[in-house]
Structure 1
Amino acid sequence: MIRDQLLPKIDEFMRSHLCNWDNKVIDIQEKTKEMAFLSSLKQIAGIESGSITQTFMSEFFKLVLGTLSLPINLPSTNYNRGCQARKNIISMLRQLIEERRASKEIQHDMLGLLLNGDENRHKLTDEQIMDQIITILYSGYETVSTTSMMAVKYLCDHPRVLEELRNEHLAIRERKRPEDPIDWNDFKSLCFTRAVINETSRLATIVNGVLRKTTQDMELNGYVIPQGWRIYVYTREINYDPRLYPEPFSFNPWRWLDKSLETQNYNFIFGGGSRQCPGKELGVAEISTFLHYFVTRYRWEEVGGEKLMKFPRVEAPNGLHLRVSTY
């Protein structure tokens, strides 16, 4: 599905989203938030940028903030705004579903697949479809946007890495006409780009841990964890363990060129075990395509010297501003 349907849509969106940034000061945190949300919305429901997307995006950001707030449901609290935002989102999605059914036009996006569930054994109700859409949007939004922002930050701080990455992408553009999109073979050839994404995800840990439940008694370092206990694996500390990653606080994408590192049983960047992130390759494709057009079109430098937070979540509280010029 990524190869034939989603990658062409991602490429088309990134070309449009990253145009006209030259000779401007931009907040890359806001730009990547918009990028991650609007790209996902286009893939899920085929919605192009417009008034409805801006309204949807505003409500979605309130929902995200509400889920990260104390559950105090009083007027003017972030939690209360998040609850109201979810109601507004449900209303917009319900209207979208009704319009899609009324048109009787079959569209090959995620919403189309969910609506055409009559062919499947398990037909979803409208409420389940709307929950699925919100879940998919929420699951991929912050990971893609924040990883993209931090990749730009690390590339700015490490010119040698930027040069290597840019050369990889310029080699692709040299084989193509300006209007030609990235195809599947191009995406699979981006070995160093994938290494940059993995190293960014390791250093700027966005998902701090994974939840699991023991299905039987198990022993770990001399301690017995009883069956049925819930376990929180704190992946942030694993990502900084010098026994696993030499010089763990150094940004070194080259370490990931050893293909075995991605398959090690201590690598939890995209989860672990039988429940790895189902959107892993889609997220990597989005970030790779974003970086492709960003580094081949632009140069940039930081302005403002804003500080970054990495705990409890990775963010730039006052934004991360860049002065962008044509490459």
Structure 2
Amino acid sequence: MSDAPLPSDTQDALVPVTVLTGFLGAGKTTLLNHILTAEHGRKYAVVINEYGELGVDNDLVVDADEEVFEMNNGCICCTVRGDLIRILGGLMKRRGKFDGIIIETTGLADPAPVAQTFFADEDVRAKTRLDAVVTVVDALNILQTLKESPEAHQQIAFADVMILNKTDLVDDAQLKQVEDTLRSINAIAPIHRAQKGNVKLTDVMDRGGFDLQRVLEHMPDFLENPEHHHEEDLSSVSLTVKTPLDAGKFQMWIGALLQEKGADILRTKGILNFEGQPDRFAFQAVHMMADGNNIGPWKEGEPRESRLVFIGRNLNRPQLRRGLESCAVA
């Protein structure tokens, strides 16, 4: 879905979905319980590891007997997206009973198939929006986990927000090493330190997807450091073009790029300035599946320029830069 908050009338009509991911034992369920028991006056429908659906406050939103995910090894990434689409469809028939949906994936899950669901199905796109992928990271064990698990790399690379949990179990030097490692994989997601998942709800809920302004608040030098490498070949590249873009040229270029390189490009996100359009255009893609929409006028003082971020493997920054610049209006 979109990379930034939608206009309020559209946003109110779409149900925000938060995806909780993170490796085994990182503290996802602890964070989920924190969200559900906090004083916020909101109700959430939850799709959990056992893949039944619960309404918060113990009201069943969907009868678990008839709406249970049965997946290979209980892993959400091993099943057809159709199961998740079916569950979401069932939930949407009970739309008035909750304010948002939280999906907690298993510790071994690649978040990509979950995120792709919000691009792949027209009914899902018409009724829900992917608010954020929140990745919980175990500060004590993550460095070792990254050596052993490609899934852990995927979870961090996909994050819109990282919750660095169990920070009380490591010293300052270890904490810095962990944060530097996380930054090398995903340079754009804010990192919030936590103990037992105790974070501000505004850090994880109602994030509005990818919002470059929030990134710049946490990392003001982000755009000056446009390439971040990792030893596993995962990197992020950020590009800025000040000249307005031709919408048709951009669609042709990005479509061909994702068709050819989509397997290596985990995520693409950006705010774009199309010629002749008064509104900002939010663009996001997961592998080869892309989506985007207008998100309201440019803010006062905000530079009218296009900013695009790629996260993936084998990214060729000069080639990507030339491609984006070729979409600029002559």
Give the TM-score normalised by the residue count of structure 2: 0.28
Return the structure number with greater strand share.
Answer: 2
Return the structure number with greater helix share.
Answer: 1
Which structure has the higher relative contact order (CA within 8 Å, separation 6+)? 1
Quick check: which has more Rg, 1 or 2? 1
